[in-house]
Amino acid sequence: MISPKKPTLTRRQMLSLMGATGATAALVACGATTPAAAPTAVPATKASEPTKAPEATKASEPTKAPEATKAPEATTAPTAAAGGGYPADFKARSESWKALPSDHKKGELIKQGDWYAMLGKPPAEIEAAFWLEGWGHGWVKDVAEQLEKEHAGAKVKVWGDPRIWETLQPRLVAGDVPDVGRLWISGGQAAQIAGTVDGVYVPVDILLDVEAPSQPGKRLEEVLADGSVKAASMGISERQWAMPFAQTQMGIYYNAAMFEKNKWPQPDTLSWEDFLKLHEEIAKAGIAPWTYQGKYPGYFDLVVTPLIYKKAGQKAMCDIDNLVEGAWKNPDVMWALEQMPTIFKSGWVFKGAEAMSHTEGQQVFVDGKAAMVPCGTWLQREQEATTPKDFRMKLSSVPAPKDGKGFPKALANTADAALVVGNGKNPLWGMEYVRWVYSARTAKYIAEQVGGMLAVQEPLVGATVNDAVKSAVAAVKAAEGHYPTSYYGAWYPDMGKVMGDAWGDYLWGKVNVKDLTDNLERAAKEAREDSTIKKITRTDCQ
Amino acid sequence: MQKREKWKLIIPFVLPALILFTVFTMYPAVRGLYISLFKWTGLTQNMTFIGLNNFSKLWRELTDPADFYNIRLYLSHNAFIFVFSLVTIILALVVATVINNKVFGHKAFRVTYFFPNVLSVAAIAVLWSMILNPSFGLINGILRSIGLEQLALPWLSLQYEMPLFKLGLYSVGFIGIWGGLGWYMILFLAAIQNVPQELIESAMLDGANRVRMFWSVTIPLIWETIRTVLIFAVIGALNQFALVYILFEQTPNKHSDMIMNYYYFQAFAQRNWGYAAAIVVIIFIVTLIGSLVSYRVSARETVQY
C-alpha cells in the first residue's frame, strides 16, 4: 500500500526541490508513495476488516447467465491441451487437469476410488491460502489434517492473513495461483466474477459429483445444504466457480432476555406495521430499539433487502436485477425504502452509534443498551470476548408488511461463494481439499468451535449449540426455502456503488428516497445502454 | 577534458540513485499513465484498451450534478484539509518563534510538539479513535464528568451536521493540526535559528519591537522555508489517505473520503484499475498545478541583508 517515506534532509532548497518534483512525480506511481510531511504524518497500516461485511443477500433460485458464464481463456500460456479434462472447453494451466474424464456426464456419481485414481500421487505440497477472519484458521488446519490422514504422503501448507487479497494480487497477475482457499480478491461478489472471467479459478462442477467423504454412495452435491450450491454460483448457472462454505443467516438479532422480561414478542411474529409500534414501546422503556454498525451503515441492507422482497415480491427483485426501467420506482419498492429513514428520524437508534465501528456498535447491543441490531450469524463469535455470560441473543427474520407480496417468513440466508480452487499447479488436489471441508468432522468442528453452520444438510449433528444458533435454525425452517436475493450490486458494480455510497445519508433521511431511486434508475440506464457491460438475466421471477 | 574527468567522478555517485529512481518511481509513474488507457481488473495480464474512456467517465462524474458522491465531493474534502494545513502552518510559525525565544520549558515544549511525528499514522488514527469515541472516549468522558453532557458529541460522526462539512471531517482536520504542527515547527525553528543574530541586534538598536522584528526581519529571511512548507501542505492535503482510511474503518465513507481514498476504492473494491490510474493521473495534475500555484503565489525576491 503506502510506503512510509519521511525526509531526513533539512536543507530548505533540497526540500523545495523534492517537494516540487520528486513528490509530485511519485504520486503518479499508482499513488503508492507518499511524500514528506503531510500534516498528519505518513505511513499506512494493516487493519482488520469486519469479520464479515454484509453483501447484498444471496441465495435463492438459479439464474441464467448467458454471457458472463463464458469459460475464461487461460491467461498465461496454458500448458494443458484443449479437450482434456472436464469441462473440455476449459483450459487449465496444470497438466493434471487432463486426468479428469472429458466425457463425464453431469450428475453421475464418481466413486471415491475412481476419484483417487484421477488425483494420482499427492504433490510435494498443496497450498491452502485462506483469508484469516472471524472464523479463525482452526477449521482450515483441521481439514488439512483430515486430508493428510486420508492420503499418505500428502502435505498441506496452510497460510493466510486478514488482507490476503493484497498479498496475493501480484501472484495472481503472474499466474502463480494457490491450490485452494478463500477470498483471494477483494471487492465482493463482482470481483469474484471478475476472477472467473480472468481465469484465476478452475470450474469445480465435477467435484459436485464426487462421492462425499464419510457418506458412501452420495454425491457431494447431495450432502450440501439446499440452495447452497446455487448460492455459491454467484448467479452464474452454467458453471460452478466456487463452493459454499458456511450457511449464514442474517436479519434482526434481538436481546432475548430483555424481550422476554418486557413481554415483547419476537419481531417476525408481528407485521411490519406492528413492529414499528413495538419500537415506540421499547423507546418508552428507556431503551434504544436499535444500534447498528455506524461506520458500516450498509448492514441495514440485511433489513432493507428482505423488506423490499416481502413488500414488493420476487418479481420486483427480478426487475431490479434485470435492469428493467422503472424497477426502483415501483411504489412497493419505494414504500420499503421509506421505512428505514422513518426509524432513524423517529430517534429509535442508539445515540452516537453512527460514529462507532461495527464491533463498538454491536457492543451496545450485548451491553443491553439497545434492543436490536441488524447482523448475521457471525455476531456471537465476533462479540464473544465482550459478551456478558448471561446474555442471550436470538435471530428473527424481518417482519413482513400486512399486504406484502413476498413470503412472510423469508430469511436472508446465504452460503457465500467462499471456497475457490485455483487455476494453478494442483487444481485436483485443491478440489480434494474442498471435498474434505464437507465431512461430518468439519461440520461438528464449525458448530462447536466457531459457532457456525457448515453448508451441509446436517450441520449440527452431534454438536451442542446455544440459543442463537437454535434460533437461526428455526428461522431457516420457517423460511421454507424463501431466501430474498439481490444481485444488481454484484453484476453491475457501478449501480451497487450508488446504493453503497448512499447508505449513511439514506438511513438518516438526508438523501430522500426519490433522489436515491432517481440515481439508481440513472445507473441502471447507464448499465443497460453500455454495450461493454455484460448483461446477466435473472429468471427466478415467480 | 576537465569536464569529462568531472563526470567520471559524478556518475558512479549518481547512477545507483538514478537507477532506483527510474525503476521505482519513474517507471511506475509512466506505467500508471499507460494503465489509465485500459480496462483492467488488476488480477491477470488481460487488459482491454479503451483509449480515453476512463477520462471521459471521470469528466462525466465531475460534471454530472445528479451524481451525489463523486470526485467533486472528495476534492472539496482535500481542500478543506488544506485549510487546516494553513492553520497548522501559522500555529507552527508562532510556536517556533515562541520556543526560539527560550521561554521557560522550551525544550520540553519542543519535544512535546514534535512527539506526534514519531508515531505512525496508524497509531495516531487508533489513538484518536479511542479519544474521540462517543461512548467511552476520553473527551466525552471528561465532558460528562464535568457536567457538560450536551457538548459530548459523536466526534467521528459523518452524519452530524456542521457548516459545510460533517463533524467527523472537522475531527480529521484537528488531528491533522496535532500531527503536523511539530514537523512544521521544527522546519521553522531551524530556519529562525539561522537568522543572523547581528541583524536581530541591530533591529533592536533601531528600536524595533518584537512584532516588528518578526515581520520585518524573521519572516523575510525564512521565506524560502515558508514556501517549501506551503508546497508540503498542498501535497499533504491532496495525499491524505491513511488517517481517514483507518479512522473511519476503511469503508468508503462518502463524507470523509479524500481523492486518494476514492482511488483506492476504485482499484481494490471496484477492481477498476484503469479508472483508478486515471484518477491518479488527475491527482498528479492537480498536485502539480497546486504546487506551482502556491510556489508562484509565494514568490518574492530573496531577501539578503
The structural domains of chain B, ordered by start, are 68-297 (1.10.3720.10)
Q: Do A510 and B159 touch (CB under 8 A)?
A: yes
Whether residues A41 and B42 touch (CB distance < 8 A) is answered with no
Taking the Cβ of residue A540 and every Cβ of chain B, the question of whether any pair is shorter than 8 Å is answered with no
Average pLDDT over residues B170-183: 93
Q: Quickly state the pLDDT bin for A56 (edges 50, 70, 90).
A: very low
Mutate to test the interface with A, among B251, B283, B295 (most CBs of A within 10 A): B251
For chain A, say whether B81 makes contact (Cβ under 8 Å): yes
Question: Does residue A165 sit at the B interface (CB-CB below 8 Å)?
Answer: yes
Task: List the grid coordinates of A364.
Answer: 451496545
The answer to whether B44 contacts A173, with C-beta atoms less than 8 Å apart, is: yes
Q: How far is CA A152 from CA A124, A144, A178, B124, in A?
A: 12, 12, 21, 51
Q: Which of B50, B84, B239 sits opposite A34 (nearest CB)?
A: B239
Closest CA to A339 of A484, A496, A513: A513
CB distance A355–B280 less than 8 Å?
A: no
The verdict on A162 touching B (C-beta cutoff 8 Å) is no
Contact A15 B124 (CB under 8 A): no
| CATH 3.40.190.10 residue ranges for chain A | 249-413+489-529
Question: Is residue A19's pLDDT more than 80?
Answer: no
pLDDT in tens, A455-464: 888 888 777 7
Mean pLDDT score, B194-206: 88
pLDDT over threshold 90, residue A159:
yes
A522, A169, A497: which is closest to B275 by C-alpha?
A497
Phi, psi of A372 (to 5 degrees): -140, 160
Q: How far apart are CA A304 and CA A307, in angstroms?
A: 5
Look at residue A302 and tell me whether its pLDDT is greater than 70: yes
**Does the pLDDT of residue A3 top 50, yes or no?**
no
Pairing of strands A243-255, A370-376: antiparallel
Contact B159 A43 (CB under 8 A): no
CB A113 within 8 A of CB A216: no
Question: Cβ of A27 and B42 within 8 Å?
Answer: no
Mean pLDDT over B69-91 rounds to: 92
- Grid cell locating A128: 491452502
Q: What is the pLDDT of residues A83-138, one digit of tens each?
A: 467 887 788 888 899 899 988 988 999 999 999 999 999 999 999 999 887 778 89
Average pLDDT of span A258-269: 96
| Residue B220 sits at the chain A interface (C-beta within 8 Å) | no
Q: Residues with Cβ < 8 Å from A240, sequence gap 6 or more? A: A203, A204, A205, A207, A208, A229, A232, A233
Coil/strand/helix, residue A380: helix
**Confidence band of B250 (pLDDT split at 50, 70, 90):** low
The CATH H-level superfamily of A249-413+489-529 is: Periplasmic binding protein-like II (3.40.190.10)
